[in-house]
Amino acid sequence: MLKGAVRSFEVVARQGGDEFAVLLPNTNTNDAERLAERLRAEVASQRVGDVALSASIGVASRDSGHDLDAKSLVKASDEALYRAKFAGRGKVVVARLG
């Protein structure tokens, strides 16, 4: 479902367990947040049997002024993801950078 919701040059990959990463080349924070909200809503519209699905999403971006290396970008998105989970799940949280 995630692969079908992104453009052909964007990458969806399992990060571990029930966590996935979506790499969005040349995408600013605002556009990444909009896509994350769309993905969250798409997941929430799905059911597996009688179980409704949900997604918590952490967003981090290499916008001007925040030229993070890959390791720092993953760490920032992971921290945002955990803030989303602790905020009640089914949320999108953008990383606090700078």
For the stretch 36-78, pLDDT in tens is 999 999 999 999 999 999 999 999 988 767 678 889 999 999 9
**pLDDT band, very low/low/confident/very high, at 90 (cuts 50, 70, 90):** very high
**pLDDT band, very low/low/confident/very high, at 98 (cuts 50, 70, 90):** low
| Mean pLDDT of the 77-97 span | 93
Cα distances from 6 to residues 23, 28, 32, in angstroms, run 10, 15, 11
Contacting residues for 48 by C-beta, under 8 A, at least 6 apart? none
Task: Dihedral sign for Cα 75, 76, 82, 85, please.
Answer: negative
Q: Which residues pair with 59 in a beta bridge?
A: 94
Report the percentage of the chain scoring pLDDT > 90: 67
34 conformational bin, left if phi > 0, alpha if psi -120 to 50, beta if neither: alpha
Going by C-alpha positions, the residue among 76, 87, 73 that lies closest to residue 40 is 87
* CATH C-level class of 2-94: alpha beta
